[in-house]
């Protein structure tokens, strides 16, 4: 029961005036924020929908940035590989010219000088740096120069010439998410783009009686292959062939050891897993494939293993040396053949990059159509209708002013108000 007193009308008027002021403040805040939902109780269902739309929109915007970065990265990679293909095409033209038998040895040496300069340009292209300051063909070792020159003397060409080019980058394992649980490969490593022949590695270790000492795993081209205690060489071969690694395995009938062969032209990377729990598991080392895990990404093949399959640079160096020797037969056979292998693999990698670029372009266009749709759905749930809000604000303002005028007449100020 309310207590009846002379102050009750004043209290009631102040209470209802404050309610009106609160309503005015709410509608003004909504107009300032352009949202009709300030608190969950304003519209619980719409608020829950808006939160889901905002979360989904944030993911779409992240995917859009990822696809845009991928497009630019593919474009840079495509440009440098295309330039490298042009250089290789020029080297092949020199090989064809030098093999026709109409040029003297002095002319062939002049061609070799040009091939040597083009070799340096190829190395420069393979060590290119993108606009973000990262090495393009170093895989996930983005700040490591992928190819290292080794200089020495060449018969007929003098000293301080390139005699070997070593790959010190890593595998192309960087990916970017372009949709929920959908990833695009970013890189093509130098061991893929600048390789010419399918690699073959033959172990000289007789492993017919070999048994894995403890459960563990090893890696081929970044793919983990698990082994169990007691696995034989045949079981290891089967597991390699069942894996997604671009490497096939078999048992060498001569040495009765493990033999590996790449399914395409690339540098095969092999490592034993370093595990503190089972440090004694060293399958590839026991089988005579590697001498130890890769240090600074340098080649780690066992000294007793036979390794075949050269890079683009190996093909160019062999051709250059043949031109310096005046060996037209080698130039016309293995020299041109090596250039064809190098160009074939590089063109395949260019096509692969172009396909990835098309996928990124398609994903980017889809995201740019989907983002406005999600924005429209979000606006439908939480955006404020300014016409209705302005009308409501005007009505509330008019009612508030009328209330103030009415209160001033009902509750006039008297001397007693100041004496209380």
| E strand residue ranges, 142-279 | 147-154, 158-167, 175-179, 182-185, 200-202, 216-220, 223-227, 247-251, 258-262, 270-272
DSSP secondary structure, 52-63, as one string: HHHHHHHHHHHH
Q: Which two tokens stand for residue 325?
A: 């020797």
pLDDT at 420: 55
Tally of residues, the chain:
420
Please state, rounded to an integer, the average pLDDT across all residues of the chain. 84
Round to whole Å and give the CA distance between 211 and 324. 50
Phi–psi pair at 153, nearest 5 degrees? -100, 145
What sign has the CA pseudo-torsion 86, 90, 93, 99? negative
Note the pLDDT of residue 31: 65
Asked whether the beta carbons of 168 and 145 are under 8 A apart, the reply is yes
* Annotation: CATH topology of 200-308: Alpha-Beta Plaits (3.30.70)
**Residue 58 and residue 64: Cα distance in Å, rounded?**
10
Per-residue DSSP letter, 306: E
CA angle 258, 263, 264 (to 5 degrees): 130
* Contact in structure between 17 and 407 (CB atoms under 8 Å): yes
Residues contacting 189, CB < 8 A, separation 6+: 137, 138, 139, 146, 169, 170, 171, 172, 267
CA separation for the pair 172, 345 (Å, rounded): 16
pLDDT at site 108: 92
The pLDDT of residue 361 is: 93
pLDDT reported for residue 141: 81
Q: With contact defined as beta carbons under 8 Å apart, do 283 and 236 qualify? A: yes
Query: Do 79 and 71 form a contact (C-beta atoms < 8 A)?
Result: no
Residue 42: DSSP 8-state: G
Q: Which residues pair with 149 in a beta bridge?
A: 165
Percentage of the residues of the chain whose pLDDT score is greater than 70: 80
Q: Tokens 């009902």 label which residue?
A: 410
Low-confidence ranges of the chain (pLDDT < 50): 296-297
- State residue 19's pLDDT score: 73
**What is the CB neighbour count within 10 angstroms for residue 267?**
20
Question: What are the tokens at 363?
Answer: 């994903």
Give the per-residue pLDDT at 180. 87
Residue spans of the domains in the chain: they are 53-176+310-371, 200-308
Query: Looking at the domain that runs over 53-176+310-371, which CATH code has it been given?
Result: 1.20.1330.10
CA torsion sign, 352 to 358 to 362 to 368? positive
**Which residue, 226, 224, 221, is CA-closest to 246?**
221
- Report angle CA 262, 268, 272 to the nearest 5 degrees: 120
Q: What is the pLDDT of residue 296?
A: 46
Residue with tokens 């009765």: 256
Helix (H, G, I), strand (E, B) or coil at 411: coil
């Amino acid at each position: 029961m309310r207590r009846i007193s002379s102050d009750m009308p004043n209290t009631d008027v102040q209470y209802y005036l404050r309610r009106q002021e609160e309503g005015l403040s709410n509608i003004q805040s909504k107009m300032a924020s352009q949202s009709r939902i300030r608190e969950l109780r304003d519209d619980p269902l719409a608020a829950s929908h808006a939160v889901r739309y905002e979360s989904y929109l944030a993911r779409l915007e992240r995917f859009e940035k990822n696809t845009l970065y991928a497009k630019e990265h593919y474009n840079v990679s495509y440009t440098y590989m295309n330039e490298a293909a042009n250089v290789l095409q020029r080297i092949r033209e020199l090989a064809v010219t030098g093999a026709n038998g109409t040029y003297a040895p002095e002319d062939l040496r002049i061609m070799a000088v040009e091939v040597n300069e083009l070799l340096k340009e190829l190395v420069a292209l393979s060590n290119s740096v993108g606009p973000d300051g990262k090495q393009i063909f170093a895989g996930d070792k983005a700040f490591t120069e992928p190819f290292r020159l080794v200089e020495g003397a060449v018969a007929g060409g003098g000293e301080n010439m390139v005699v070997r080019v070593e790959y010190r980058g890593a595998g192309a394992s960087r990916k970017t998410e372009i949709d929920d649980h959908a990833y695009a490969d970013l890189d093509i490593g130098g061991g893929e783009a600048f390789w010419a022949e399918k690699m073959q590695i033959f172990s000289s270790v007789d492993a017919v009686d070999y048994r894995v000492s403890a459960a563990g795993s090893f890696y081929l081209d970044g793919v983990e292959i698990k082994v169990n205690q007691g696995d034989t060489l045949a079981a290891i071969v089967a597991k390699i062939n069942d894996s997604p690694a671009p490497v096939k395995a078999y048992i060498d009938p001569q040495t009765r050891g493990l033999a590996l062969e790449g399914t395409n032209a690339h540098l095969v990377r092999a490592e034993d897993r370093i595990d503190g729990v089972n440090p004694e598991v060293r399958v590839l080392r026991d089988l005579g494939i590697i001498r130890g895990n890769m240090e600074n990404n340098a080649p780690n093949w066992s000294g007793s293993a036979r390794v075949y399959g050269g890079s683009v640079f190996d093909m160019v160096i062999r051709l250059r040396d043949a031109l310096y020797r005046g060996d037209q037969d080698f130039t016309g056979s293995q020299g041109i053949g090596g250039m064809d292998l190098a160009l074939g693999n590089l063109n395949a990698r260019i096509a692969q990059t172009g396909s990835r670029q098309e996928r990124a372009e398609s994903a980017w266009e889809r995201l740019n159509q989907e983002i406005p749709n999600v924005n429209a759905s979000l606006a439908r749930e939480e955006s404020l209708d300014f016409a209705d809000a302005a009308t409501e604000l005007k009505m509330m303002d008019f009612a508030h002013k009328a209330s103030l005028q009415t209160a001033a007449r009902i509750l006039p100020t008297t001397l007693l108000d100041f004496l209380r």
